[in-house]
Structure formats: structure tokens, C-alpha cells
Amino acid sequence: GNIGFSGNELYVSKPPYEPTTTYLVDDIFAGFGSSNPKNLTKVGTTLFFTANEGIDGTELWKSVPPYDGDNTNIVADISPGSNPSNPRQLSAIGTTLFFTADDGTYGRELYMSEPPYEHYTTVRVDDLYSGWQTSYSHSFAAIDHTLFFSGNDGHIGQELWKVDGSFL
């Protein structure tokens, strides 16, 4: 939402869902700038989204109850510096968040984040398409403890792939 003085930012509305119970979660891009939160995805009570705070570019963020400025922060600066990793396709599977991101070195690849959802528990799953090329990983689906997805390794084309186990 955009109420004028804080730009397009993340808001929360609580029962009875009226103006008096709707408020700004955090002014992520401080001042009149807009963080443009997108890709909202819930894992338990943790809300993940992508946003730009004006320093690191568009990266993965989280907010936990009570969903306010003290409990909203960046999960990981996947593409260091001001280059955005532009996380996409956020998908919750159990307590694990899967998504694609471009770290500026390996192209757009599959990533995951596990509790406590910090930089050290957010990792690239694999460099499926070796080097700077993009694997085009998408269409995530889980069966038990296995993640299935479509991806391209640069050799056999777009095929079905899987990640087994407890993920990390």
C-alpha cells in the first residue's frame, strides 16, 4: 500500500479489518521511496516477500509476529552490493522456503532458506546449469521430503529434477 509519506510499503490488517486495525509493517525504503513488496509467501507464521530498501536492491525479506519494524528484516543479500538477486517463485514446502535468485555469478538458480531464515541458512541448492547460465527452475512440487521441479542443466534440456531429504 501507499499512503503518501512512505511510498509503496508492506501493510498488515487485523480483525475486524478496518482502517483502525490496518497499519504499516515497516518503512523498508525509508522516506518517500517505495520498497515495492511482492511475492508474499507464508511459512508457518513467517511472512516472506521480496523488497528493495534502496541499498541492496530487491532481495528476500521476512516479517514475524507481531509484524512490525522490529520484526521485519532482510533474510539474505544474495547478490552482494546494490545488484539485486530478484528472488522469484517463492514456494513453501514444510518449514523450508524454496525460490529462484540470481547471485550475479551462477545465473538464476534454485535457493532455499530454513529456520531461523537468516543468511547462514539461505543457500543455493545447486548450480544446475553450470557457470553463469540460468537453469530456469520452476514448477515446484513436494511429495513427502522430496522437492520436484523443472530445470535445464544445459545438456539435456528442460527436464524433471528432484532434491531429496531434509534439504539442508
| Backbone phi and psi for residue 71, each to the nearest 5 degrees, phi listed first | -120, 25
Q: Considering just the CA atoms, what is the radius of gyration of the chain in Å?
A: 17
* CA–CA distance, 161 with 151 (Å, rounded to integer): 7
Number of neighbours of residue 1 by Cβ within 10 angstroms: 14
Confidence label for 168 from pLDDT (cuts 50, 70 and 90): very low
pTM above 0.75, yes or no: yes
Answer whether 97's CB lies under 8 Å from 90's CB.
yes
For cell 532434491, what's the residue? 163
For residues 51 and 37, the answer to whether their CB atoms sit within 8 Å is yes
Question: 81-113 in b/e burial notation, b at 16+ Cβ within 10 A?
Answer: eebbbbbbbbbbbeebbbbbbbbeebbbbbbbb
Residue 70 three-state SS? helix
Torsion of CA 106, 112, 117, 119, to 10 degrees: -20
Q: Which residue has the higher pLDDT, 80 or 49?
A: 49
Q: What is the pLDDT of residues 87-141, one digit of tens each?
A: 999 998 889 999 999 999 998 999 999 999 999 999 999 888 888 888 888 888 8
Residue 136: what pLDDT? Answer: 84
pLDDT for the residue 166: 59
Give the 3-state secondary structure of residue 71.
Answer: helix
The dihedrals phi and psi of 6, each to the nearest 5 degrees, come to -120, 5
Confidence of residue 31 (pLDDT cuts 50, 70, 90): confident
Burial degree of 143 (CB within 10 A; 0-12, 13-18, 19+): exposed
